[in-house]
Amino acid sequence: MFSFLSAADAVEARLEAALSPTGLSLAKLAVLHFLADAKEALPLSDLAARQHCVRSNITQLVDRLEKDGLVRRRPDPEDRRSVLAELTPAGQQAHAKGVRALAEAQRAIVRALKAGEATSLQNALTALTS
């Protein structure tokens, strides 16, 4: 079990390092990705659910993204108690850069494996995420 956790930590560290030049973290990129994928503004409560975290954590994350100019908040026209977050044009660009950085990091990880190992890893990851 600990080797599994060590492997997960090592992969996460590589991905965070790959994102570092973009100014993003995995958590920030995940929020940008959820917003880009939705193609519309999302309530912070939806982002918290997708990120599997509590609302206060997503609020702090969106605060930082808003400060960086990557997202903007606006009131929900259908529910005055709710706040929506949406990507800015800079957020769309940052999302694209982050996705490219992660894709390159993934390719580097796969290149470090032997051909059969890469296929086995892909099969195992598919099984784990299905």
pLDDT tens, position by position, 20-40: 999 999 999 999 999 999 999
Domain ranges for the chain: 2-129
pLDDT mean across residues, the chain: 93
pLDDT for the residue numbered 130 = 82
- State what percent of residues in the chain have pLDDT above 90: 69
CATH C-level class of 2-129: mainly alpha
What band does 121 get if pLDDT is binned at 50, 70 and 90? confident
pTM of structure: 0.88
| The pLDDT value given to residue 1 | 63
pLDDT above 70: residue 93: yes
- Using one digit for the tens of pLDDT, what is the confidence trace for 46-65? 999 999 999 889 999 999 99
CB-based contacts of 33, cutoff 8 Å, min separation 6? 95, 98, 99
Paired strand residues for 79: 76
- DSSP bridge pairs for 77: none
**CA 64 remoteness from chain centre:** 14
